[in-house]
Structure 1
Amino acid sequence: MALHTYEAAAEERLPGPVWDFFAGGSGTESMLTAGREALDRVQLRPRCMVDVSRCDPGTDLLGARLAAPLAVAPMAYHQLAHPEGEVASARGAGEAGALLTVSMFASRTLEDIAAAASGPLWLQLYWLRRREVMRDLIRRAEAAGFRALVLTVDAPRVAYRPRDAANGFAVPPGVRAVNLSTEVMAASHGSRSGESALARHSREQFDASITWEDLAWLREVTSLPVVLKGVLTGEDAELAVKHGVSGLIVSNHGGRQLDFARSAPECLTEVVDAVGGSCPVILDGAIRHGADLAKALCMGADAVMLGRPALWGLAHSGDAGVAGVLRLLIDQFEEVMALMGAPTVADFGRSGIAYPVCGRLPS
């Protein structure tokens, strides 16, 4: 099944405000297409007369073996797409051999998600004003077997998202962030005309005062690797390494935060060069084909994260849909490996890509 088929089915099945919540962007929504346009400008340079009778798309990422350099990005409230929510997502990701990053605002408990998972799990965090809430969640994640923490650093507050504001979007009854107290999450359920409840919630609960020095506290309270999500500059990549992070995710937050920014693919090589191999770098966003995995690897990424398409699969057919979407990309990637003359992930490098003269990406 083609990826657009999953997307069309999800749009048809989901209520309009929920679809807008998943599909929409911030401001003018310019960033919804910027990453895709950037990846489309990257051209592959295949090599021939290479033994590709056996291609192995597998890789290791922070100690976890994956079927391909592919992970599911953190997204909140999977129950908006399917009654089983993140439990179904965990089953589907595990079946495909992919990593699942679970949102702090997951609609199923960390323990239930872990019980359903056969693949590795990471936990995503926003920095809350109440650090004891973060500490308790981290301890539960450690006990449940999560392998890393992903701190989102591009959202000191939720940006203005016109579709959510127009819909007065709030998390509907029957769905909630079950790993956090009702007190912490109360604002996310209060619908007001012309305003996003999630934006209001972020202003109340997110700590916009944190700096690089605050990472020391996070590293003190956990033994898990800490990965930063939302780094888009070499300067911040260097600071992240200096402050002991274990990985970086180059991400535009699905086009839902800073409008008119450089897209994540355009920032990837800058971040890769800044860290100089000292930690894994992951590209998040705009991944829609197995060839995109190859392009990201050639640009220096160690893996990619897939966002909305995983939710399309979940809305389509639960865990089977999630697994179907992931397997589609893995199968496409394996074919690209053979046609590129790259039988292993390690065979991808910058000599494998080129750019047209116009709209050239940084090299």
Structure 2
Amino acid sequence: MNTHTPHLSPLDYIPAEIACARDYVSLAQRFIPADILAYISGGSGQDITLHNNETAFHRWAITPRVMPAPENATTAIQLFGEQLRHPLLLAPVAYQTLVHPQGELATAYAAKSTDTCMLASTLSSVTLEQIAQRSTAERWFQLYFQPRQENTNALIQRAIAAGYQAIVVTLDAAIQAPSLRAVRAGFKRPETVKAANLIDPGSDTPRQHSSGESRIFRSRRENAPTLQQLQQLIDESPVPVIIKGVLHPEDAGLLQQSGAAGIIVSNHGGRTLDGAPASLSVLPAIRTTVGDQYPLLFDSGIRSGSDVFKAIALGADAVLIGRLQLYALSVAGALGVAHMIKLLREELELCMAMSGCATLADIRATELHKPF
């Protein structure tokens, strides 16, 4: 940890300089040590995809309409049989005690207070059961398949027993290119920050490997589920199985045919293959492939309510908020996360009111403008 630059402890109030959700990005630099900030804010490699995720939104514009704002406007949405008050979900972000002592517990409290669906990460720094006790009824569990199938099964069983309403399988992060920004900053995860769900005395037993096998290929093989494992989970799960990390229309079509309940278009916030396309740029083609009624969610690059509007207009039913929740958490804990969600909702509502949209379906029917 960088000990040369003092950092503030999380506040118990909202700083006056926070005027919009994006302001949490810059303010968080005062609260997160430099090496941890590099780890959180960096992507993989040279940050090419990370940068493209945000700039992709600048290629689209929302055209205002002159008619009065519609009556009975709402941001409500129905997903997988559940009615949500708004289309903002908290993405599964690992190791949240890096930025706040209560970590995911504070985030869960914010989710409950704002009627927000929270996705708990396999790599959360508190257990999935503890998160369930704090969060709202709308909660999903994000699953990384484990090298041992019995450990994967145990995670699934725990999540279902704890009342998680969906299993979100992340497929695009079996291996990750290192963040050069984090490497150069000297980031190392503190020993006190652990993946609380994975504490297993037998999990570190060495495996036997072929001496000529690539470490990278081996890691990909061991940490990614086989098609058979994935299909078995989809077929046998008592709750919807959603697939996260899809960028190719053909993959989207195959997953839809396999029975996956929905898809999250995501490049992991630019943290997997550097140079991958911005999530927003592939969203329309994936929507065309899966059809208008299939549940399609989106993440990577959301920083404002107008970003949310554009993602929905280009095909998403709802969006996931990743880094912004950590930035807000670092500044003001649960209060900061709740405030960030409030700001995003108000920014989205402003876009809706000024563009004549009364519902999220109206946004989906909106044609964005290309300003250049």
Q: Same fold (TM over 0.5)?
A: yes
| More deviation, 230-239/290-299 | 290-299
| More deviation, 269-278/258-267 | 269-278
1:321 to 336, 352, 357: 336
- How far apart, CA to CA, are the structure 1 residues paired with 2:143 and 2:299? 16
Give the letter aligned to residue 87 of structure 2: P
Please tell me whether residue 137 in structure 1 is matched to residue 152 in structure 2.
no
Structure 2 residue aligned with 1:106: 124
Structure 1 residue aligned with 2:140: 122
Structure 1 residue aligned with 2:280: 265
Secondary structure, in 3 states, of the residue corresponding to 2:70?
coil
Q: CA deviation at 1:297?
A: 1.4
Structure 1 residue aligned with 2:364: 349
- How far apart, CA to CA, are the structure 1 residues paired with 2:89 and 2:367? 22
1:38 to 45, 49, 56: 56
Structure 2 residue aligned with 1:81: 99
Please tell me whether residue 249 in structure 1 is matched to residue 264 in structure 2.
yes
Q: CA deviation at 1:347?
A: 1.1
- How far apart, CA to CA, are the structure 1 residues paired with 2:86 and 2:357? 14
Structure 2 residue aligned with 1:240: 255
- How far apart, CA to CA, are the structure 1 residues paired with 2:92 and 2:42? 16
Structure 1 residue aligned with 2:6: none
CA contact (8 A) 2:117 2:136 kept: no
| More deviation, 274-283/207-216 | 207-216
Please tell me whether residue 178 in structure 1 is matched to residue 196 in structure 2.
yes
Secondary structure, in 3 states, of the residue corresponding to 1:352?
coil
2:29 to 11, 17, 28: 11
Q: CA deviation at 1:220?
A: 4.5
Q: CA deviation at 1:131?
A: 1.1
Secondary structure, in 3 states, of the residue corresponding to 2:141?
strand
Gaps of 5+ in 2: 1-17, 206-214
2:310 to 295, 306, 317: 295
CA contact (8 A) 2:176 2:273 kept: no
* TM-score, normalising length: structure 1: 0.89
Give the letter aligned to residue 177 of structure 2: A
Structure 1 residue aligned with 2:228: 213
- How far apart, CA to CA, are the structure 2 residues paired with 1:204 and 1:241? 27
Give the letter aligned to residue 287 of structure 1: I
Secondary structure, in 3 states, of the residue corresponding to 2:196?
coil
- How far apart, CA to CA, are the structure 1 residues paired with 2:346 and 2:135? 22
Structure 2 residue aligned with 1:92: 110
Distance of aligned partners of 1:204 and 1:237 in 2 relative to their CA distance in 1, 3 Å threshold? closer
Structure 1 residue aligned with 2:350: 335
CA contact (8 A) 1:299 1:350 kept: no
Encode CA deviations 1:188-233: one digit per residue, 9 max, x unaligned: xxxxxxxxxxxx9997697256343331222255211111111111
Give the letter aligned to residue 269 of structure 1: P
Give the letter aligned to residue 29 of structure 1: D
Secondary structure, in 3 states, of the residue corresponding to 2:251?
helix
Q: CA deviation at 1:336?
A: 1.2
CA contact (8 A) 1:300 1:350 kept: no
- How far apart, CA to CA, are the structure 1 residues paired with 2:269 and 2:55? 14
Distance of aligned partners of 1:202 and 1:68 in 2 relative to their CA distance in 1, 3 Å threshold? farther
Q: CA deviation at 1:173?
A: 2.1
Secondary structure, in 3 states, of the residue corresponding to 2:183?
helix
Structure 1 residue aligned with 2:300: 285
Distance of aligned partners of 1:168 and 1:218 in 2 relative to their CA distance in 1, 3 Å threshold? farther
Give the letter aligned to residue 335 of structure 1: L
Q: CA deviation at 1:96?
A: 1.8
RMSD across aligned positions (CA): 2.3
Q: CA deviation at 1:6?
A: 2.1
Secondary structure, in 3 states, of the residue corresponding to 1:3?
coil
Give the letter aligned to residue 133 of structure 2: A
2:237 to 207, 222, 234: 222
Please tell me whether residue 155 in structure 1 is matched to residue 169 in structure 2.
no
Q: 1:164-175 residue pairs with structure 2 within 5 A? A: 164-175=182-193
Gaps of 5+ in 1: 188-199, 359-363
Q: CA deviation at 1:163?
A: 2.5
Q: CA deviation at 1:156?
A: 2.4
- How far apart, CA to CA, are the structure 2 residues paired with 1:51 and 1:259? 42
Structure 2 residue aligned with 1:308: 323
Structure 2 residue aligned with 1:196: none
Aligned residues: 345
- How far apart, CA to CA, are the structure 2 residues paired with 1:24 and 1:79? 18
Distance of aligned partners of 1:109 and 1:81 in 2 relative to their CA distance in 1, 3 Å threshold? same
| More deviation, 26-35/277-286 | 277-286
Encode CA deviations 1:256-288: one digit per residue, 9 max, x unaligned: 111111100000001111101352111101111
| More deviation, 288-297/9-18 | 9-18
Give the letter aligned to residue 11 of structure 1: Q
Secondary structure, in 3 states, of the residue corresponding to 1:342?
coil
